[in-house]
Chain A
Amino acid sequence: MTTDSTPMIDIDPRDMHHLAQAQMNVELDTGDMILNMGPQHPATHGTLRLVVRLDGERVLAADPIIGYMHRGYEKLTEYRTYPQITTLINRIDWLSSFANEVPFIHGAEKLMDIEAPDRAQYIRTILTELSRIATFILFLGEMPLQVGAITPAFYGFRDREHVLNLIESATGGRFHPNFNRIGGLKDDLPWGWTGECRRVLDICAKSCDDFERLIVGNEIFQARTRGVGIITPEAGLAYGVSGSNIRASGVDWDLRRDGPDYLSYKDIDFKVWTHPDGDSFSRYWVRLQETRESIKMVRQLLDKLPSGPVMAKVPRIIKVPEGEIWVETENPLGQMGYYIYSKGSTGPFRTKIRSASFSNVSICPWLLQGIYVPDVVTVLASLYFILGDIDR
């Protein structure tokens, strides 16, 4: 198989939907084939259906069909109070639930003019970075699986488990911690947690080295991913692609460093990794480096962890004053934001949930044009999306 990725057939992306409708065009053009990937396909991490129109092995048009997991969270938030909503938003991106909670809680805190104590901010930052490590280590193991390497997937799951156990011991939940409260955290860290955390970080660092040796230098992996699925920075940004995906296209933009101040990122040193290529390989490489960077960040945070309370003084019944606010954070998958409209009640009037995967996947029709069928799987895997994050 070749890895030539230049689109041979030039199609206006706007005509794509028409092309995807197989039944109507079938008598006009008998040379093309419609392939239905999913909703149950291993490469789709859930229930993403992809209708691809093929000319031989080449993709003419791809149309992602989403909504199999739509749970209507934006409507549900209008029927819930602020503390209840953290339970919902835990389930948007279930691999890094803790990181999801942070922007929402942060937005409510800003509207209420409450600031969580330093220690709470540090613990939040640590747990956010730990969920990033957990998410990325799974990715580092799972993406080679789509290329045909079975073993790394087991390494990924094995090493992620250490991090999840760590999150569980602090919050009580492996996947859905529901640990943030408006004004701080539910609990302080358990006794001896920081020591255990350092031990796990060493395991993760070793895991990253393993992946580098096993995957990044692997000839087959490089042949399958280099030059495949190239996202140009302009197109990526116009489609709203964010996070590691856009940094792999050479855009030096990380909300932890460039966005409005949140959590304790201003207190620590970290490097924002970019890669100029924008192909599947660079997305893997950037995430690998970011995992290492996160490990370094957590170590710094553990060194600086201040003492003190983890909860600010908040009223017993939480009423958020009238106003609106846009909060955004750098989640493992990209930019996660909430636009909260409050009318002074116990629940928000309207919440717009901006999830990273939604925009990251919306580039698919543009990105998949002209590549080969086996590469569709690797490109989808390299974009790394969570269906809950697309469908909300």
Chain B
Amino acid sequence: MPNLIEDVKKAFGNDVIEIEENYDDVVVRLTKAGYEKAPAILKEQLGFDFLSFIAGVDWMPMPVEAEEGSGDTSQPAQPQEMTFGVTGSASRFQVFSHVQSTSQHVGLTIKVDVDENDMAVSSWTKDYPGADWHERECWEMYGIDFIGHPEIRHLYLPGEFEGHPLRKDFPLLARVVKPWPGLVDVELMPGEGPQAEESE
């Protein structure tokens, strides 16, 4: 693992913003320029031949629908200040991907910040053709464009779908259409509630 961190630092030079060991994994945060040349370096120099996934993350806290203590359990209460994961982030959106080496049995997570005013990063499809579907998914779920992708179009959602469902400000429709009953439907424990008092 320490070797891998050194190798990555050497291969990417100044493009490494932060690199950290995280459980059985190494997480590296690259600049946009670094992310663009990453697939070639990862594949040819470092021997990461297997692409596991590419995905996006929205660091904005989820808008809270109900007040604390109101009995609304429709979603787990998340902290309201914006905090970023292991290697930090300079913007709301990030793209992260995972590559692995099938011969050396190591993995590497690559992160890149995506500026809200310039929602685009370069595509990895040239070196990892499997990136195609992952990038299409990320595009429709977060609205992050991938420059150089052969044809970016909807993967899961119907072609006329509007909005980006995995963004935190996109509401979960099921919870909007029918309000979550929350604690109302919780059965009372024996000996609790008005009936128990009456019988006494």
A57 contacts across to B, CB distance below 8 A: none
A46 within 8 Å of B (CB atoms) = no
Q: In this assembly, does A154 line the interface, its C-beta being within 8 Å of a C-beta of chain B? A: no
Does B25 contact A346, Cβ atoms closer than 8 Å? no
Query: Does A237 lie within 8 Å of B49, measured CB to CB?
Result: yes
Interface residues of A in 353-392 (CB under 8 A from B): 354, 358-359, 362-363, 366, 391
Asked if A347 and B55 make an inter-chain contact with CB atoms under 8 angstroms apart, the answer reads no
| Interface presence of B34 (CB below 8 A) | no
Cβ of B200 < 8 Å from any Cβ of A? no
Which residues of chain A are near B76, meaning CB under 8 Å? 79-81, 345-347
Of B3-11, B112-120, B149-157, which stretch is located at the interface? Answer: B149-157
Per-position binary interface string of chain B over residues 105-133, scored 1 when its CB falls under 8 Å from any chain A CB and 0 otherwise:
10101000000000000000101111011
Is A193 in the interface zone, CB < 8 Å from B?
A: no
Q: Is the CB of B57 within 8 A of A66?
A: no
Residues facing B in A1-31 (CB within 8 A) are 13-14, 17-18
Contact A326 B129 (CB under 8 A): no
Within 8 A of A (CB), among B65-110: 74-79, 83, 85-86, 96, 98, 102, 105, 107, 109
Q: Which residue of B57, B86, B128, B157 contacts A70 across the interface (Cβ within 8 Å)? A: B157
> In the bound complex, what is the Cα–Cα distance between A343 and B59 (angstroms)?
11
CB distance from A13 to the nearest CB of B (A): 7
Which residues of B from 21 to 57 have beta carbons under 8 Å from A? Answer: 22-25, 27, 43, 49-53, 55, 57
A350 within 8 A of B: yes
**Closest chain B CB from A11 CB (angstroms):** 13
A325 touches B50 (CB 8 A): no
Which chain B residue has the least Cβ–Cβ distance from A362? B133
Q: Is B188 an interface residue (CB 8 A)?
A: no
Which size class do B's interface residues fall under?
35 or more
Instruction: Return chain A residues, CB-CB under 8 Å to B102.
Output: 237, 246, 251, 253, 258
Does B17 touch A at the CB level, under 8 Å?
A: no
B16 at the interface (CB under 8 A from A): no
Q: How far is the CA of A343 from the CA of B76 in the complex (A)?
A: 11
Q: Which residue of A lies closest to B168 (CB)?
A: A78
Known interface pairs A70-B156, A75-B172, A325-B23; A344-B79 also in contact (CB < 8 Å): yes
| Of A17, A70, A237, A326, the contact of B151 (CB 8 Å cutoff) | A17
Contact in complex: B24, A359 (CB < 8 Å) = no
Min CB gap A88→B, angstroms? 13
- Residue of A13, A239, A258, A349 most packed against chain B (CB within 10 A): A349
Tell me the dominant secondary structure on chain B's binding face.
loop
B175:A79 contact, CB within 8 angstroms:
yes
Residue with the highest number of chain B CB atoms closer than 10 Å, among A13, A237, A259, A346: A237
A391 to chain B, nearest CB (A): 7
A 247-298 contacts with B by CB, 8 A: 251, 253, 258-260
Q: In chain B, what residue has the closest Cβ to A365?
A: B132
Q: What is the CB-to-nearest-CB distance from A280 to chain B, in angstroms, rounded to a whole number? A: 20
Residue of chain A at shortest CB distance from B125: A14
Q: How far is the CB of A248 from chain B (nearest CB, A)?
A: 14
Whether B50 pairs with A242 at a CB distance below 8 angstroms is yes
> Does A55 touch B at the CB level, under 8 Å?
no
Task: Choose among A239, A323, A349 the residue that contacts B130 (Cβ–Cβ < 8 A).
Answer: A239
- Chain B residue contacts of A325, Cβ below 8 A: 22-23, 25
A67 vs B127: C-alpha distance when bound (angstroms): 26
Residues of A within 8 A of B125 (CB): 14
When distances are taken between beta carbons in the complex, the residues of chain A under 8 Å from B43 are: 238
**Minimum Cβ distance to chain A for residue B152 (Å):** 10
Q: A258-B105, A325-B23 are in contact. Are A13 and B83 (CB under 8 A)?
A: no
**Distance, CA A253 to CA B105, complexed state (A):** 8
In contact, B23 and A238 (Cβ under 8 angstroms): no
- In the complex, are the beta carbons of A326 and B23 less than 8 A apart? yes
Taken together as a complex, chains A and B put the C-alpha atoms of A118 and B128 apart, in Å, by 40
The answer to whether B51 and A240 have CB atoms under 8 Å apart is: yes
Chain A CB count within 10 A is highest, among B27, B43, B133, for B133
Bound Cα distance from A195 to B129, whole angstroms:
48
Tell me the bound Cα distance from A251 to B155 in angstroms.
29
Do A67 and B156 touch (CB < 8 A)? Answer: yes
11 new A-B contacts at CB < 8 Å, known A326-B24, A339-B96: A66-B155, A67-B154, A78-B62, A79-B76, A234-B49, A238-B49, A242-B50, A246-B102, A326-B25, A349-B78, A354-B98
Give residues in B with beta carbon < 8 Å to A.
Answer: 22-25, 27, 43, 49-53, 55, 57-58, 62, 74-79, 83, 85-86, 96, 98, 102, 105, 107, 109, 125, 127-130, 132-133, 141, 150-151, 153-158, 165-166, 168, 172, 175
- 18 CB < 8 A contacts A-B: A66-B156, A67-B156, A72-B165, A75-B172, A78-B168, A235-B129, A237-B50, A238-B128, A260-B24, A324-B86, A326-B23, A328-B107, A337-B52, A341-B57, A347-B75, A347-B78, A354-B98, A366-B129
